[in-house]
Amino acid sequence: MSEAAHSSSDYIKHHLQNLTYGKLPAGYAREDHAGQQEVLQQDTWTMAHTAKEAKDMGFMAFHVDSLGVAVFLGALFLLVFRSAAKRATAGVPGGLQNFVEWIIEFIDNSVRGSYSGKSPLVAPLAMTVFIWIFLMNFMDLLAVDHVPQIADKLGLPFFKVVPTTDPNMTFGMSIAVFFLIIFYSIKFKGVGGFFAELAFQPFGKWGLPANLLLEGVNLIAKPVSLALRLFGNMYAGEMIFILIAIMFGAGIGFGIFAGVLQWAWAVFHILIITLQAFIFMTLTIVYMDMAQQAHH
């Protein structure tokens, strides 16, 4: 492999690596920033310095960048909407109030069109899902090098700024929706009704094994499809931005072409990030609606 290819490969791997905090076992050999090897004398919770260390930390590790950005954007969303609510007036609305009212009306129409029941939870859930995911997706429009460069100056080896390119985040959100589906199913149908649907639909009591298989797969497929659809689309978009960024180092001609391509992809990506947030919200509403509908 050529040096340029090796450099491009390292660049891509670096930009796709999460800032990971986890536990390394006693006896683990790691290199410090000066390249000196250090053998840990005891189990140590630490920040991973390399992708290998992040992998060796295993399942019980935290992606600090994904969690930090997600919490920050969630708090920002709450503060902005709280500010709009406190300043709301019955007279001529200001710009922020107008914007928030437009979003609420949009969410309300979406819920009314997809949810046939009555629940005080569904509309706030739909609004939270849509805006939070949109904000996390929107981070993909930041230049791919700026945040990692700032993080490097702060002593952080990695920093991914788009939480929805992390499958842990998308699966975390989809699993939360999955638990709500189970809760609503049991709330409206009872424990017996919920398990009766799994056991007796669609082939009746004589098709019990096939029913459990089909309905079980159908149930599990809901959170899996939610998570993978969002992750796959955002990960692909992030990868395209990274590949375009590599072109800037290939000469003036490629740099000019990359600039045009980057602008065009960013404009198109605005549609993608909005659409993915809308799809996640809509499917969440539909699944909640299906959870309360009894099959006869």
| pLDDT tens sequence across 31-43 | 766 667 888 888 8
What was the pLDDT predicted at 206?
67
Q: Is 225 a catalytic residue?
A: yes
Token pair for 79: 């503060």
Rounded Cα distance between 169 and 280, Å, is 13
DSSP 109-160: HHHHHH--S--TTHHHHHHHHHHHHHHHHHGGGS-TTHHHHHHHHTT-S---
Indicate whether 226 pLDDT > 90.
yes
Instruction: Name the most confidently modeled range: 68-72, 80-84, 239-243.
Output: 68-72
Q: Is 168 a catalytic residue?
A: no
Indicate whether 20 pLDDT > 80.
yes
pLDDT in tens, 115-161: 887 888 899 999 999 999 999 999 999 888 888 889 888 888 899 99
Mean pLDDT along residues 6-25: 87
Q: Is 233 a catalytic residue?
A: yes
**Considering the entire predicted model, what is its pTM?**
0.88
What was the pLDDT predicted at 1?
37
Token pair for 175: 């699993």
Tell me what the pLDDT averaged over the chain comes to: 86
Indicate whether 168 pLDDT > 60.
yes
Indicate whether 296 pLDDT > 70.
no
